[in-house]
Amino acid sequence: GIFIEGKERFTIGDQVKIMLDVSISPAPVDISGTVVRHTTQSVGIRFNYENSEDTNLIDELIKNKSCD
């Protein structure tokens, strides 16, 4: 998942669409998610992996970030 800072109001269970512009992909990646936590300043989203490409991309992003 991902934790995003911002002042948008969400409710737990809301479905969201996230566009990620990342260096390991030639085009922005759209991935859906479900709001699982929120505060007045941020929101926690669990990714809804719709296919193996989504899963592989997120795994690769995490792996690359861990190596930084």
pTM of the model: 0.72
- Give the 3-state secondary structure of residue 54: helix
Q: How do residues 2-53 score in pLDDT, each as one tens digit? A: 888 988 889 999 999 988 777 677 777 788 899 999 888 999 999 888 778 7
29-38 β-sheet, strand order: 2-5, 42-48, 29-38, 15-20
Which pLDDT value is given to residue 67? Answer: 57
Task: Kindly tell me if the per-residue pLDDT of 54 is higher than 80.
Answer: no
Residue 30: count other Cβ atoms within 10 Å of its Cβ.
11
